[in-house]
Structure 1
Amino acid sequence: MSNTSLLSSLWAPWLLGLVLSFAMEWVALPRPVNPIIRGWQALLVHVGLWTAFFGLMLLVFQRPWFGAINLLAFLFLLIEIGNIKWVMLREPFIYPDFEYFTDTIKYPRLYLPFFGVRNAVLATLGYGLALAVGLYFEPALNLSAVAWVTGILPEAWKVSWLGRVLQLLVVMAGFVAVGAALLAAAGRAPLPVSFNAGQDQRKLGFLYFLWRYRQEESVRPPVDEYAPFRKLLNATETKEIKASKGAGRDPAAAAVTGVGEGSSTHHLERATVQVVDAANHVANASGGVRMPLGSTDRPDLVMLQCESFFDLRRTFSTAKPELLSAFDALRGQAQGQGRLHVPAWGANTVRTEYAVISGVDPARLGVHRYNPYRRYARHAVPTIATYLRSLGYKTVCVHPYVAEFYRRTLTIPGMGFDVFLGQEAFPDAKRFGPYISDEAVADKIAALLGEARDDDGRQPLFIYAITMENHGPLDWETVADGEQQHYFTEPLPSGCDDVVAYARHIVNADRMMQSVSATLDSLDRPGGMCVFGDHVPIMPAVYASMGEPDGTTDYFYWANQSLRASVSGRLQGVKQGAELESELGMESGVRQGQGQGQEQGQTRDLPAHELSVAFLKGMGLL
């Protein structure tokens, strides 16, 4: 086969496939703008990616038409997944989402239902059929290397066959080299991104948008100066810590600065060790001597991160008022309450989780805001757990699911927790639906507090619990006939069973709040609890029929009787509260509330990253 004939068999599928790849972007949600007005960098990356992967498909299949069809099929799959995600989660497919392909295999219950089991089966069967047809009907460009190596071919064919193979490899490498050159040229002047995924996809096009987010993953965001718990650690150092700093930097800052330089995942374990060592150093050096309450009897603290929790009565007027009776009672006694502006809609718990634990505004993270645990080493900072360890607390994180999910076995210790209890700590726990129940989480918290109570002279406890019961997909749950009347005052529109399933989980969350508060009240020591939702649930059919929430969840922080008596009259006033927020780099003021201070019963809307500091202020610890 001559060079001319070989190239002539390649240019048509390459060119037609390239044109179709641009055309397919028009079905993406949100739809990208015309390629002509995206910028030359976007065009070069699109053409470069298509060309390079076309060369790789030639290497794998040696069938140009079949290779082009494979690329188009994969592009269509990404676009279709992005469209589903746009409808359910209000954002398109982004580069960090590629890791969810492997997560779907590990945790099919969490992901597969949203794509649809039927769709997944049909797509798999369809691709299998296309693979068989393509391999059978389109002849390969050359003979198989396996046949020559094993001596199947006659001796006289070896030289000529080898020549054709080398020629084919050169052509394939040429496609890859041209594609790589185009990508390199575009990389010299990358277009800016806003990190508003929908806006960036519209502006940059589907492929360049993914490419730019991939590039941004290598950037370490400048979060140190915006980390409130670093500032608190610096501000509360004792003379012993200052004497040990040597070069004039606190141990936590020294340990974390520089973490995440270079590439990503293999630095995560090093970052984890460094941050934990920093927390230990600060805690040991301070001896836990600082106590704003003027006492060594620090309160036990519990934070309940409730899966998909929000007050559904705000959105669905027919929901019975008594559904959240404990929630209402505790809010009535709370030190602070309001709506929580969370960085997630329907899923992506770790976005809210990282914001609350770290106190860092997600807007400071760049592309890492979408999955803060994916490249955690690039933005590891002291957290509420780190800070409380410096006050002598034992810090425990509880999550009744697979501990390795979202890399929590590395990130949770890296954020300053002494102990991380995954589902292995719940061997015989009660389930409600497919997941470990909120009741079991309340029992685990009670057990931890009870064990600590029996320890004379024990450390105070900080427990951060991440619940799982209310995790979707809700449409996979069975709703009995007539069940909705237990939760709603009027019949629901057709197709709204999801909200009935949601309501019964919310009732269980309400019971969990009551149980944990009762446990804290039973202690002969101060105790406090903060409750909040990580995001609203995924219920697109319900929202279409009954109205959709505004995306905020609800929070409150509450003190038991012992702690309320201890902190009475000690909480920060308006001026001091505003000054503290200013020092920590937080926005001062009320989004929707009744004042700027931390008076008991205050109603105030907060962004998620300000919740931990507000909680500590409400408990008299700041």
Structure 2
Amino acid sequence: MRADHALLAPVAAAIASILVAAALELLLNPRPSFARPARAWALHAGVLSVMTGILTVLLGNPWLATGCLAVLFLILVLVGNAKAASLGEPFVFQDYEYFTDMVRYPRLYIPFFGWGNFLISVAGGLALLYFAVTQAGSLLRFDWSASAFGGGAVAAVGLACVRAAERRPLSMSFTPRQDLRACGFVASLWRYGVSSRTLPAVTSAFEGLDVRIASSARETHEPLPHMVAVQSESFFDPRRLYPGIRPELLAEYDRVKAGARAWGTLRVPAWGANTIRTEFSFLTGVDNALLGAHRFNPYRALARGWEVMTLAEVLRSHGYRTLCIHPYHRGFYLRDKVMPRMGFDDFWGIEKFAGARRFGPYVSDTSLAETVLDALQKAEEPTFIFAITMENHGPLHLEKVNPGDAKRTFTTPPPAGCDDLTIYLRHLRNADAMIGMLAEGASACDRSVELCWYGDHVPIMTRVYAELGTPCGDVEYVLWSSGGNVGTDRRDLAMDQLAGEWLFLSGAHG
């Protein structure tokens, strides 16, 4: 291949990559505006030029490099649209683990991505492979020194564009839909990624907390109560979504709520998924909105060494054994690394549930309740248990409605296309049974038990919401004590306020 062509081809390939990426942005939902700041376009051109140049050096063929980027960008667009359809939030840089998690936990991800999108992505990859194989002969005759020089030059120009744009960085709201529309896909991905390199600088609500639970126990000569918090997967009261649901479906929840210290709705930082956003806010008392780029996955910052005071650490410092129980893989969301850093003495994962009953594809809520109660019965010291349920985790549409399900869950059947709601309610009955089991078991404990029950987010039920209306995203919580409760008080809270309210009502701090 002539040297001048080998030098010019990377430039042409970089221009093609820039244009192809801009064209594919037209497929995004929401669609970015082309009337974006010059710095956003500089990032778009610079990042794609750097990637084209580097791939040209590695592959020896600039057009193969452009093909790789086109397929990658198409996959990102498809993933972004699938995420926006299910969760109302476009793809962000912090979602890069979707691709490894899709391999590790395919049932949780591929059904939401869509088999059609998955097959399109595979077809694109195979076409790229075919191109690479058929061009193998020309690749061997390629002028590698010229390719390296041309690719390196393109990457250097791209890097200069990026550095120029970063002299006065684009301001991000970290509201993904807003930033995507204003700055474009590539620029918002870049800025989210760069921003996540700096660890958060926020203070936990538990920092310097005046905890008096130990002194209160000494004054009354009563043993410290067990503290049990349950984060119930996709738990909310769907009776406010559709009045045809049998009111007795949540009979145990209603009973516990009627004798609770407090109950109400929670404004949570997650919708349909991203459980750890809610989980983190509960355990730290930190408003998710204060985390900047880390609001999307705060556990990554913790795994990197960020330190923040947690509820578990507060209770452990006052004599509690702290235990987290989640009947799923310990490494999911990096919990195996994060939970010890958050102050938990032990973390029981799926290995603790060998042979446990399942309801659907996951360990049943009632099996988890039995494990929690067994841990309390065997406890020789005051114990804080944080239980994260799994049974009602979707995809709901992979399960089938059984005969009799509709009769057991509805007084008036919902419109056609609402099978996901029937399946969700089938699991919700078991969550309700779990509440009853915990309340009954707590009453039989030697120590009193303070129970905090809440949902992490509403479930993903896209077709149901199209028929019945989309909920606001608030979920339910209840604070209950086996030692007796003074009246019932409705208090609607933000997620970061819940643990502090729990400690206050249980007499844990002043």
TM-score by length of 1: 0.78
Find out whether 1:129 has 2:148 as its counterpart.
no
Render the CA deviation track for 1:288-307: whole Å, top value 9, x for unaligned: 55648743511111111000
Alignment RMSD (CA, Å): 2.0
Matched residue count: 508
Cα contact 2:14–2:53 (8 A) shared by 1 = no
How far residue 516 of structure 1 moved from its aligned partner, in angstroms, is 0.6
Check conservation: 1:334, 1:558, Cα contact below 8 A: yes
Counterpart CA distance in 1 for 2:221 and 2:496 is 28
CA drift at 1:428: 1.4
Aligned partner letter, 1:81: V
In structure 2, the partner of 1:157 is: none
- Aligned to 1:602, the other structure's residue is in SS state coil
Give, in angstroms, the shift of residue 11 of structure 1. 3.6
- State how far apart, in whole Å, the 2-side matches of 1:210 and 1:218 are: 13
More divergent stretch after superposition (524-533 vs 338-347): 524-533
- What are the superposed Cα offsets for residues 378-403 of structure 1, whole Å, 9 maximum, x if unpaired? 64211111111122111111000001
Aligned to 2:97: 99
Q: Considering only CA atoms, is the larger Rg found in Structure 1 or Structure 2?
A: 1
**Other-structure match for 2:383:** 461
1:170 aligns with 2:127: no
Task: Indicate conservation of the 8 Å contact 2:13/2:52, yes or no.
Answer: no
Q: Does 1:53 align with 2:30?
A: no
Q: Aligned equivalents of 1:293 and 1:347: distance in 2?
A: 44
Q: Which of residues 223, 244, 247 is equivalent to 1:321?
A: 247
Query: Following TM superposition, by how much is the alpha carbon of 1:168 offset from its aligned partner in structure 2, in angstroms?
Result: 2.1
CA offsets per residue over residues 329-378 of structure 1, 9 Å max, x none?
00000000000100000000000000001111111111111101112146
Matched, 1:386 2:313: yes
Q: Give the alignment of 1:188-203 within 5 angstroms.
A: 188-203=167-182
Query: Which residue of structure 2 lines up, in the alignment, with residue 79 of structure 1?
Result: 77
**Is 366-375 or 164-173 further displaced after alignment?**
164-173
Task: Note closer, same or farther for the CA distance 1:204–1:378 as it changes in structure 2 (3 Å cut).
Answer: farther
Structure 2 Cα separation of the partners of residues 449 and 99 of structure 1: 36
Structure with more relative contact order (C-alpha pairs < 8 Å, separation 6 or more): 2
For 2:353, the aligned partner's letter is F
Judged with a 3 Å threshold, the aligned counterparts in structure 2 of structure 1 residues 619 and 292 are, in CA distance, closer, same or farther, namely farther
Q: Is 1:495 aligned with 2:417? A: yes
Q: Is the 8 A contact 1:293 1:620 kept in 2?
A: no
- Cα deviation, 1:62-84, whole Å, max 9, x if unaligned, reads 33333212211211110111111
- Contact 2:206/2:285, CA 8 A, preserved across alignment: yes
Q: Secondary structure at the match of 2:138?
A: coil
CA contact (8 A) 1:63 1:140 kept: no
Q: Is 2:382 the counterpart of 1:478?
A: no
Partner of 2:361: 434
Alignment of 1:476-555 (within 5 A): 476-555=398-477
Q: Give the direction of change, closer, same or farther, for the CA distance of 1:388–1:600 in structure 2 (3 Å limit).
A: farther
1:187 maps to 2:169: no
Corresponding residue of 2:351: 424
Taking a change above 3 Å as real, the CA distance of residues 379 and 606 of structure 1, as seen in their structure-2 partners, is farther
Does structure 1 residue 305 correspond to structure 2 residue 212? no
Deviation at 1:505, TM superposition (A): 0.5
**Which whole-Å CA distance do the structure 2 matches of 1:371 and 1:293 have between them?**
42
- Superimposed CA distance per residue, residues 427-460 of structure 1 (whole angstroms, 9 cap, x where no aligned partner): 11111111111011100011101112xxxxx321
Residues 11 and 150, structure 2, Cα contact 8 Å, conserved in 1 = no
Alignment of 1:216-227 (within 5 A): 216-224=195-203, 227=204
- SS at the partner of 1:229? coil
- The residue correspondences of 1:347-386 to structure 2 (distance < 5 A) are 347-376=273-302, 377=304, 379-386=306-313
- Rounded Cα–Cα distance in structure 1 between residues aligned with 2:189 and 2:286: 25
The AA in structure 2 aligned to 1:196 is T
- Give the C-alpha shift of residue 620 in structure 1: 1.7
- Check 1:330–1:181 CA distance in 2 against 1; reply closer, same or farther (3 A cut): same
Distance 1:69 1:365 in 2: 36
Contact 1:338 1:604 in 2 (8 A): yes
| Structure 2 residue 247 is matched with structure 1 residue 339 | no
SS for the counterpart of 1:31 is: coil
1:205 alignment counterpart:
184
Q: TM-score, normalised by structure 2?
A: 0.95
**What is the CA deviation profile of residues 447-497 of structure 1, one whole-angstrom value per residue up to 9, with x for unaligned ones?**
101112xxxxx3211111000000000000011244212101122222211
Q: What one-letter code is carried by the residue in structure 2 that aligns with 1:5? A: H
After superposition, residues 566-581 of structure 1 pair within 5 angstroms as: none
| DSSP-derived class of the 1:319 partner | coil
How much has 1:228 moved relative to structure 2?
Answer: 1.7
The alpha-carbon distance between structure 1 residues 335 and 206, as it changes in their structure 2 partners (threshold 3 A), is same
User: Which residue identity does 2:283 align to in structure 1?
Assistant: I
Residue identity matched to 1:480: N
Corresponding letter in the other structure for 1:98: Y
Relative to 1, partners in 2 of residues 1:461 and 1:293: Cα closer, same or farther, differing over 3 Å?
farther
1:6 corresponds in structure 2 to 6
TM-aligned CA distance change 1:122 to 1:31, over 3 Å = closer
Q: Quick check: 377-386 or 67-76, which moved more?
A: 377-386
Residue pair 1:62, 1:140 contacting (<8 A) in 2 also: no
Between the two proteins, what is the percent identity of the paired residues?
39
Structure 1, 113-122 or 550-559: larger mean CA deviation:
113-122
CA separation in 1, counterparts of 2:169 and 2:188?
A: 11
Paired residues of 1:496 and 1:541 also in contact (CA < 8 A): yes
- 5+ residue gaps in structure 2? none
Cα distance in structure 2, aligned partners of 1:449 and 1:296: 17
The residue number in structure 2 matching 1:400 is 327
CA 1:394/1:15 → structure 2, altered by over 3 Å: closer, same or farther? same
- Using the alignment, how far apart are the partners of 1:196 and 1:121 within structure 2? 30
In structure 2, distance between residues paired with 1:59 and 1:216: 28
Structure 1 gap segments, 5+ residues each = 145-163, 238-285, 453-457, 569-598
